[in-house]
Amino acid sequence: MILAQVQRSLGTSPDILYLSAVLGRMKNQPSDIILALLQEAIDNHFKNHRGMSFGATYLAALNPDFLLLIVNECLIYAPNQPSPTEGLGHNMPGVVKQALLVLETITRACPALLAALILSARLKFIMGDIKGSAASLQHVLDNIDSTSSEAHLLMAQIQLYQGNFKQAQQSLEVGLSYNFEVREQPTYHLVRARVMKKQGQYQEAINTLKACLNMTNTRPTSE
């Protein structure tokens, strides 16, 4: 109610639209309503700096951190990996496709912003652009941050999808060596279990999944 009153007073502010989308998700509103709010937030945000020349004022108006919040919210409604039977970006919500364009705008303005580069690679992957995703990650690892555990974990997902199981295992190990906290991510255990399954290590795969479930069940929940 309060958020609705604020929105009426401020109009279609991108910040309020984003918060409305987050609140809608927490209230289990239909995804099409939430995605429409995110789409409107993106459209209205870019209206605020349309026609501005590049510089400090433009970067402040662009507000990459806010745009990354919107992109992360969009990713909640995207699959975790591409469909092997669908074409590039087929059946993907329009706002998810636009999120990739948003990330391209961010990375043009801030070419070394690690979070945007990894999100861009992730979106390319789930949209089926496997080659583009791998190339983006390789650029990150070669030129931006070779110790990024997130980049290594996503690279492992791509290599697993391509059937390169040994390389996927190596990427997992490298990512873990740089950041032991990667073991707290369910994706790490899922990829590791799938690699073990493909290599015929069925009991090890089961044990990995059980450990992941135990970790999830014992993790404290926020009230």
CA-wise closest residue to 117 among 104, 101, 131, 127: 104
Same domain assignment for residues 8 and 64: yes
- Residues 152-201 have pLDDT tens digits of 999 999 999 999 999 999 999 999 999 988 888 888 998 999 999 988 88
Type of residue at 76: I
Domain stops at, among 123, 143, 163: 143
Same domain assignment for residues 14 and 94: yes
pLDDT at position 90, please?
A: 63
Whether the CB-CB separation of 92 and 127 falls below 8 Å is answered with yes
Same domain assignment for residues 84 and 162: no
| Helical H segments across the chain, by residue range | 2-10, 14-26, 31-47, 56-62, 64-75, 94-109, 114-126, 130-139, 149-162, 165-178, 186-198, 202-218
Q: What is the mean pLDDT of residues 75-86?
A: 78
Higher pLDDT, 138 or 94: 138
Same domain assignment for residues 11 and 104: yes
Structure tokens at 216: 């999830």
Same domain assignment for residues 80 and 185: no
Q: What is the mean pLDDT of residues 11-33?
A: 91
Would the pLDDT of 220 be above 50? Answer: no
CA-wise closest residue to 139 among 109, 99, 111: 111
pLDDT at position 223, please?
A: 38
Same domain assignment for residues 123 and 183: no
Same domain assignment for residues 91 and 157: no
Same domain assignment for residues 76 and 179: no
CA-wise closest residue to 149 among 122, 120, 172: 172
CA distances from 209 to 130, 138, 187 (A): 26, 29, 11
- Structural domain of 13: 1-143
Would the pLDDT of 56 be above 60? Answer: yes
pLDDT at position 183, please?
A: 85
Same domain assignment for residues 119 and 101: yes
Structure tokens at 180: 């032991």
- Residues 87-128 have pLDDT tens digits of 565 666 677 788 888 999 999 999 999 999 999 999 999 888
Higher pLDDT, 27 or 214: 27
Domain stops at, among 97, 112, 143: 143
Number of domains making up the chain: 2
Q: What is the CATH number of the domain that holds 183?
A: 1.25.40
Same domain assignment for residues 129 and 178: no
Same domain assignment for residues 12 and 93: yes
Q: What is the mean pLDDT of residues 47-69?
A: 90
Type of residue at 157: Q
Distance CA 136, CA 75 (A): 18
Same domain assignment for residues 124 and 162: no
